[in-house]
Structure 1
C-alpha cells in the first residue's frame, strides 16, 4: 500500500470471515504492511484465528447470508450503523451483496467513506421478478454518490451502468481478486499414461452447475469409462440452491463422480487434474478458474458473465452452454480428443493470460488509488 503519513483505521465488511482469508488476503497484507489498522466485520468461522495471527482485529457480525429480505435486512443495516458509530473507521471496504447494500446505507448516515466491490449479482438478480426489482431499487439508493464502485467483470459493470445504478465515473473494473502468481505457480502436467481427471471446485449449489456436471460425467464416461470426474467443495451450504450430502453420496455410489470433500489447499487437487471445470450460471470472477489457469491447467466454463473474463475460447480452454449437461459433455470430449502436448500447451496459455491480466498487484494498486481519493488527507504515499 506504500508508506503512510498517518495510520488509517480500515474496516472490511463481508458475509463470511473465510471470504477475506481465501480471496482478500493479498489486499489485507498490503494494508497491514503499510501500517494501517484493519478490522474485519463478518460472521465468524474457523479462519478467525488465522486472520488475527496476520494482525487483523475481527468483529463478529450477526447476519443471514440467505436471499434478500428487506424487513430482516433493515435490522442488519441498524447493526452496521451501531458498529460504524463505535469503531469510527476512516474508510469501509465492502464485499458481497448485503454488506455492499446495507453497509453503504449505514455508512452514508455516519458520513464514512465507503468502497464496495461487486463480487457477483447473486440469487436475487438471477431469479428476476419482484426480488430483482427490490435489489435494483436498493442498489440505486445505496450506491448513489459513492466515489468508486469496483466490479470484477465487464458484464456486471455494463449491467449496472445500463440500469443507471452507477455512473461511468464511479464504475471501475478489477481482475477479480487478483491471484498470487508465486503461490499458484505452474504445475507439471500429469503424465500421458494417467487416466484423464476433470475437477470441479465449488460450493455444491445448483447455481454452480453441479447437476450439469454430473450429467456430463455420465455422458462422457459412457464413451470414456477411464475418465474421472472429481468434485471439491462444501455440501449443505446455507443457500436455497444447495445440494445435500445424501445426494452426493448417491452419485458416489453410482460411480459417476469422486467427492473430495473440502480442503485448506486446493493446489494438490489442481496439480492432479488434466482440466478444471466450472459450469456456473453466473460468476463475479471465478476464483477456481483463475487458480487453475495460473497453475497451467486448461479450463472449461459456461459462456456467462465472469467466466468470459477468464477464458479465451480454444486457446486456454473451452466454453459450454449454460444449464446444458450435453454441451458440457461435448466440451469435455473436446479436451479428451486433444493430444497430450496440446492439452499441456493450453494450460501454459492460461498461465500466460493470468500473468498478463490477473496479477494481485493490479488489485492492490487500484485500492491504493481509491483510498487516496476517498480518505480526506489520507496521504497514502506511492
Structure 2
C-alpha cells in the first residue's frame, strides 16, 4: 500500500483545503495520514485521515525553538511509519519538516513534496524580510524533491533563484475549487431572500462582501474606508471572517459614520449563498498565494475587485475582474461605483470569471497531483531496484 503524510502548521489548513485530497487518495487505496499542532482535537481531520499526529511548533517561521523538539518527533514518526511521500504545506511546517528529513530522504525510500501557498518573499515585500525568507527557501530547497507553486510569479521566482532544479518545479493552479458546490445554480432565490432578511437588507439593496481574516495583510481598513468614501447610503458592506483587528475595524466604522451600513458576520459556513447574494466581493490584500475567496466568487459569477498582486492577478487578468493597486482606496471606491452603475457590464465580467475558473477545478488539480505522486513513487521504486 502506498502511503502519504500531509504536514501543515495548524489543522485548520488541513480541514479547509486538504481533506478532499485525503479522501481522493484514500479511495484509490493509499494510506493518508496528517500531522499538525492540535490535529488530534480536530474532529474533521480525525475522520478524514487514517491517522493523525500531534506536533508542537510556533507559527512564527523565525522562532529557533521550532528546530529543537519538532524534528526529533518528525523523524521518529517517519521511521516508524515508513511513508513513501511526505507532502508539506505552510511555511513553518514545510521548513521544519524538510530540515528534519534532510538526511532520511537521501536514502531513496522517501520523497518530500512542498506546495508553496505563496512564498514569504514577493514583489513589493520588505527588502530585509524578502532576503531572509529567500535565504531560508534556498536552504530548504536542498532538502526538497518536488516544489509545487500555485501562481505564475512564484513559478518565475523559483526558477530564477533555482530553489530546486527546474525539472522538479511544478506549476499547479492552486488546490482546487469545487465548481459544483460553488455554483450560482446551487443557491436558490429563497436562500438569497432569507439571507438578505437576516442581514436586514431589502431585495434591491446592493451589498459588497469581503471574505477574509481581520489581519494586517488583508487590509480590511482599506475596504471600509473605500466604502465610506463611496457615499451611497442605500448600499451595504458585509465582512465575513474574524481576527484580532475586528474590534478596530468596528470602531473605524463608527468613526466614519457608516456603522449602520456595515455588517460584521464572523466566520460563516454559507459562503456560496453570501456570494450569490452579493453585488460584488472585495479583497484588498498585499500578499496572497492564490486567494480561495476570489476563486469562489468567480465560480459563483459574482464580480470581484482585487489588488494587483500575485495570485489575484492570475485570476482577474484579461477582464475577469477589477484590479487595483494595493492601498489605493480611491481605486477601490471607483471600482465599487462602476459595478453599481454598470450592472450589465459587471455581470459580463462575472461570467467571464466563471469561464476562467474552469481550469482551477478540484478534479483537474487532483489529476495533476496523481501524476506528480506517480512520478515520485516511480523514482522510489526505480532507486530500490538499483540498490538490489
Global fold match (TM > 0.5): yes
The higher-RCO structure (CA 8 Å, 6+ apart) is 1
Distance in 2, matches of 1:246 and 1:40, equals: 34
- Contact preservation (8 Å) 1:153, 1:173: yes
1:305 is paired with a residue whose SS is coil
8 Å CA contact 1:197–1:274 kept in 2: the answer is yes
- Which of the residues 277, 282, 288 maps onto 2:282? 277
Q: Secondary structure at the match of 2:285?
A: coil
In the TM superposition, residue 55 of structure 1 has moved relative to its aligned partner by: 4.3
Corresponding position of 1:374: 376
**As a proportion of its length, which structure holds more helix?**
2
- Residue equivalent to 2:314: 309
CA shift for structure 1 position 47: 7.7
Mark the runs of 5 or more structure 2 residues left unpaired by the alignment: 194-201, 383-388
Aligned to 2:199: none
How far off its partner does 1:79 sit?
3.8
TM-score by length of 2: 0.85
TM-score w.r.t. structure 1 length?
Answer: 0.87
Does the alignment pair 1:103 with 2:97?
Answer: yes
* Equivalent of residue 332 in structure 1, options 333, 336, 348: 336
Within 5 A, what are the aligned runs for 1:140-179? 140-144=138-142, 146-179=144-177
Distance in 1 between residues matched to 2:100 and 2:274, nearest whole Å: 42
CA distance in 2, matches of 1:46, 1:81: 19
Alignment of 1:258-297 (within 5 A): 258-297=263-302
TM-superposed CA distance for 1:78, in Å, is 3.9
The worse-fitting range, judged by mean Cα deviation, of 156-165 and 78-87 is 78-87
**CA separation in 2, counterparts of 1:324 and 1:132?**
23
Q: Does 1:73 align with 2:71?
A: no
Match of 2:212 in 1: 202
1:79-117 deviation line (CA, Å, top 9, x unaligned): 433332333311101111122222112222222310000
The secondary structure found in structure 2 opposite 1:183 is coil
Distance in 2 (CA, whole Å) between partners of 1:80 and 1:126 is 35
Give distance in 1, aligned partners of 2:381 and 2:273.
46
The verdict on how the C-alpha distance between 1:90 and 1:28 changes in structure 2, with shifts beyond 3 A counting, is: same
Find the residue that maps to 1:263 and give its secondary structure: coil
- Consecutive unaligned residues in structure 1, runs of 5 or more: 1-6, 237-242
RMSD, aligned CA: 2.4
Partner of 2:51: 57
- The alpha carbon displacement at 1:72 in A equals 2.0
Residue 49 of structure 1: how far off its partner (Å): 1.0
Structure number, greater radius of gyration: 2
* Contact preservation (8 Å) 1:282, 1:307: no
CA contact (8 A) 1:94 1:100 kept: yes
Q: Is the 8 A contact 1:124 1:131 kept in 2?
A: no
Give SS of 1:68's match: coil
Aligned 8 A contact 2:122 2:130 in 1: yes
Partner-residue secondary structure (3-state), 1:250: helix
